[in-house]
Structure 1
Amino acid sequence: MRKLFFILIMVGFISCGDKKPEPFGKASDEVLKDATPIVVDEKLKLGEELFNGVGMCKSCHLPDKKVIGPSIVEIARIYKDKEANMVEFLKENADPIVDPSQYEVMKTNFAITKTMSDDELKAIEAYMYSFLK
């Protein structure tokens, strides 16, 4: 009987642990997940698919390492810092600002990017900007 009483008391103490109330207005993880617009997720997904697929960008650009062309992070950072338009560059309507010495290599890919819609190019741009922290 004493053991049962002791066990019940211990369970009572453990279950009444020090639970701190959350401050008023603090969002839970579920609320934050639901607050992200679906459109953004779809745009990033499309950008990733185009970048890694038909755009063939991945063959020269990796997220944080220079291969043939500059890294995605470097490209996104420079375009953001200079407030330049990546979409216009991909349409071949703007001069190269990241690594002009590699422009001739990149020119061969304009045949692909020029066939893409503005929405597709903006999706690639959004995908590339998503690598900035």
Structure 2
Amino acid sequence: MKKIVLALVFVSILSCKSKEEKMQAEVDESAVKVSGQELFEGEGNCIACHQPDQKIIGPSLQEIAKIYKEKDASIVLFLKEESDPIIDPSQYDIMKTNFAITKTMSDEELKAIEEYIYSFSK
């Protein structure tokens, strides 16, 4: 009888762990990857200065995409403040305030923003 009770306790412990692992897997699978557009318009607050097809405070997304592609430069490195501005250096001081935001983003998030910007290249 002791062996049966002990076996049931052991099985129940294993099944609880299994349920926890299953729940974690479901959470991982349901995690939604944030898009570059959502980061650009939301957390990054980039939309405040950059519009798709016109210069507001900063250059348009079309201009950024075109110049960065032509120069084979990295938007990600610029957003990490690891490369110099190549489009409008006179606006660099204004952009510096946003580096506090972009430097906290993961490489994956910055890459998503870069891909979003490149989607405006012709």
| TM-score normalised to structure 2 length | 0.72
Q: Which has the higher helix share?
A: 2
The match for 1:52 among 24, 32, 41 is 41
Q: Structure 2 CA distance, aligned partners of 1:72 and 1:130?
A: 9
| TM-score normalised to structure 1 length | 0.66
Number of corresponding residues: 91
The match for 1:70 among 59, 62, 65 is 59
Where 1:109 maps in the other structure, the secondary structure is helix
The Cα shift of 1:132 comes to 1.2
Q: Structure 1 CA distance, aligned partners of 2:100 and 2:120?
A: 25
Q: Structure 1 CA distance, aligned partners of 2:85 and 2:113?
A: 17
Q: Which has the larger radius of gyration?
A: 1
Runs of 4+ in 1 over 2 A off after TM superposition: none
**What do the CA deviations read for 1:47-83 (whole angstroms, capped 9, x no partner)?**
0000000100000000010000000000010000000
Residue type of the alignment partner of 2:47: K
> Structure 2: where are the runs of 5+ without partners?
1-31
Where 2:39 maps in the other structure, the secondary structure is helix
Identity among equivalent pairs (%): 68
Say yes or no: does 1:111 pair with 2:111.
no
Residue type of the alignment partner of 1:114: K
The Cα shift of 1:128 comes to 0.4
The Cα shift of 1:115 comes to 0.2
Say yes or no: does 1:101 pair with 2:90.
yes
**What do the CA deviations read for 1:65-116 (whole angstroms, capped 9, x no partner)?**
0000000000010000000011000000000001100000000000000000
